[in-house]
Every structure is written in C-alpha cells, then in structure tokens.
C-alpha cells in the first residue's frame, strides 16, 4: 500500500520557516546541512516553497516569494 502524505487545508509557516524564506530571498545561502542543524521542517520542500539544487543548496521558488509577500501584507 502506498503511503499518502496529509496536508492540512491551510498552510501557515512557522517563524523559523519564514526566516529561512527571507534569507533565501535576500540571497543568503542555506545548505541542507545547516537546515538540518536548525531543525527546519521538510514542509518548505513539500509545499514547493524551496527546491534543492545540484550543490545541495536551498533555492526559493516563486511560491516561496509569494508566501513572504502574503505574510508581510
């Protein structure tokens, strides 16, 4: 039986997740290793707010930028 991932109908990022999105928006690098050390959730990737490049760095997506703008508005 295949596992399905539950997603709550409304996504509200944590303060830490918003901080990472803002760092990425400003061009600061965030590696997978540093994200693991900071105990960041995989929700950012699961929700399509970040993606991982070939050098294992996180990159913010258009959806991530929209999330920052929505929260700041």
Which of 35, 37, 46 is closest to 13 using CA atoms?
46
User: Per the confidence metrics, is the pTM higher than 0.75?
Assistant: no
Q: Give exposure, 27-59, as e/b (b: 16+ Cβ within 10 Å).
A: eeebeeeebeeeebeeebbebebbeeeeeebbe
DSSP 11: -
For residue 61, the model assigns a pLDDT of: 93
Q: How many Cα atoms sit within 13 Å of 37 on the Cβ side?
A: 5
User: Is the separation of the CB atoms in 34 and 10 below 8 Å?
Assistant: no
Q: What is the pLDDT of residue 47?
A: 87
Averaged over successive runs of 10 residues, the pLDDT of the chain (73 residues) comes to 64 83 87 67 83 84 88 59
């Amino acid at each position: 039986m295949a596992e399905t991932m539950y997603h709550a109908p409304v996504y509200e990022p944590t303060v830490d997740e918003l901080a990472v999105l803002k760092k990425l928006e400003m061009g600061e690098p965030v590696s997978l290793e540093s994200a693991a050390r900071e105990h960041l959730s995989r929700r950012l990737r699961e929700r399509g707010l970040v993606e991982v490049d070939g050098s294992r760095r996180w990159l913010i997506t258009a959806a991530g930028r929209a999330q920052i703008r929505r929260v700041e508005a």
